[in-house]
Chains A and B, each alone.
Chain A
Amino acid sequence: MARVFLLSVLSLFPQAVLAHGQIEGLNDFYNGLLHPLWIPVHILVLLALGLFLGQQGPRRIQVALIATPTAIVAGLTGTLLIPAINIDVYLLIITIVLGLLIVIKPATARLWCTVLAALAGLLVGLDSSQESLTGLSWLVSALGNLLGACLLILYSMGLADYCQGSLWKKTGVRVIGSWVTASAFLVLALSRISS
């Protein structure tokens, strides 16, 4: 109760967030931790993935929960080996797929849960290139990035699981899924035109 009150008071006085590749004054780990929050498409993908996994329930996502951070690590490592590429299109496509799955809420086989989670994780990792960092700084930032991404997924998983308790809440999650799909689809259309 006190924490909620404090949070509400603190949120009345937020400082401007001047987000870019690295925020001055923050260490590498914290920069990495916040990195997923600076990229709207990452928030969308991770939110959608978390909601999808939360809807499926613990029995179907056991392997996916291991595959996701593994894939993120693989993607982050991949940024060292390949030059930074624009994979927004693929991120948007997977977001659309996950959003639709949230809306329809099918009983998804364990394999497909794992594949989708791994794919999303890999793409997020690949899109998290930090070219200005090398060596230990890169490693620390990447660890923060991994943790930040996993936390976002876990929070939205928790939300989806919590919302399984009533029709209203289940409807709310499906509605969020439709919003995610709609937004991603629109941006994909725009990106196709721009290219």
Chain B
Amino acid sequence: MKRIVQCMAIASILFAATASAHESSGIASGFISGFLHPIFGWDHVAAMVAVGLWGAFLGSPALWILPVVFPLVMALGGALGVVGVAIPAVETGIAGSALILGAMVAFAVRPPIWVAAVIVGLFAIFHGHAHGTELPNAANALTYSLGFVLSTGLLHLGGIAFGHLVKWPAGKIAVQTGGGLIALAGAGFLSGVV
């Protein structure tokens, strides 16, 4: 009962009406548009969940290193997008991230932690760049960036939660299947089918 009420509290706070705060900067609208930006891109969603899945799959310390490395490097990619530095084939990189990261989970690839961090970091640049190019247009840059960083982190968390199922034999199959589906989605994004 206590847990139900706690969940209600969290849910009601999350879905509370918009606070139209601050006379000059559209804080709420900036946060919401930033929060929705990754969610409205299936390629972003697939890759973010895959990062969480892979982290859970690799276990500690990857469990926290990957979800920490990703936003930090994503910020770098975002900064490049903000300053107008062009990165070739950003959308291809994003689609490729779903393919590669999904495949890593599907085939249970367990590289050294630094290799995993480098791979994740590499793809984070593409994702960050895509978000960063939108930043100058945001109603409030800080809340926009908070929004999309939070959204990204929550997608990672979803992947981690799912990836936790690897503790069970059937769960391991489910997680690898999930990775396979993400990889297929990535292939679809790359080929233009999806």
Residues of A within 8 A of B (CB): 1, 4-5, 7-9, 11-14, 16-20, 38, 40-41, 44, 103, 167, 170-171, 174-175, 177-179, 181-187, 189-194
Report B's interface with A, CB cutoff 8 A. 1-2, 5-6, 8-9, 11-13, 15-24, 27, 60, 63-64, 67-72, 74-76, 78-79, 82-84, 132, 135-136, 140-143, 145-146, 149-150, 153, 156
Please name all residues of chain A whose beta carbon is closer than 8 Å to the beta carbon of B70 when the two chains form the complex: 178
Do the beta carbons of B82 and A14 come within 8 Å of each other? Answer: no
Distance to closest chain A CB from B141 (angstroms): 5
**Could you tell me if B64 and A174 are in contact, using CB atoms closer than 8 angstroms?**
yes
Q: Which of A17, A38, A41 has the most CB of B within 10 A?
A: A17
B21 lies within 8 A of A178 (CB):
no
The answer to whether B6 touches A38, judged by C-beta atoms less than 8 angstroms apart, is: no
Which chain A residues lie closer than 8 Å to B12 at the CB level? Answer: 8-9, 11-12
Indicate if the CB atoms of B141 and A18 lie closer than 8 Å. Answer: no
Taken together as a complex, chains A and B put the C-alpha atoms of A192 and B1 apart, in Å, by: 51
Shortest beta-carbon contacts, A-B, top 6: A189-B79, A182-B75, A8-B9, A171-B64, A20-B23, A182-B71
A185 to B145, CA, bound (A): 9
Bound-complex Cα distance A187 to B135 (A)? 8
In the complex, the answer to whether B132 meets A14 with C-beta atoms within 8 Å is: no
Task: For the complex formed, measure the closest distance between the CB of B151 and the CB atoms of chain A, giving whole angstroms.
Answer: 10
Given contacts A19-B22, A194-B136, could you give 15 more A-B pairs where the C-beta distance is less than 8 Å? A1-B2, A4-B5, A8-B9, A11-B9, A11-B13, A13-B17, A14-B17, A38-B21, A38-B22, A171-B63, A174-B68, A178-B70, A179-B71, A182-B78, A184-B142
Nearest residue (CB) in B for A99 is B72
Whether A17 and B20, one on each chain, are in contact in the complex, defined by CB atoms closer than 8 angstroms, is yes
- Chain B residues whose C-beta falls within 8 Å of the C-beta of A194 in the assembled complex: 136
Report the bound CA distance from A4 to B4 in whole Å.
Answer: 11
A11, A181, A189: the one contacting B82 at CB < 8 Å is A189
Bound CA–CA A40/B30 (angstroms): 11
CA distance A13 to B13 in the complex (A): 10
Q: Are A183 and B146 in contact (CB under 8 A)?
A: yes
With A5-B5, A40-B142, A44-B142: A185-B68 Cβ-Cβ less than 8 Å: no
Contact residue among B11, B19, B71, B82 (Cβ-Cβ distance under 8 Å from A190): B82
Chain B residues, Cβ within 8 Å of A44: 142, 146
CA distance A170 to B15 in the complex (A): 26
**Minimum distance in angstroms from A149 CB to a CB of chain B:** 18
B64 touches A190 (CB 8 A): no
9 contacts between A and B (CB under 8 A): A4-B9, A5-B9, A8-B12, A9-B12, A103-B72, A178-B70, A189-B132, A190-B135, A192-B83
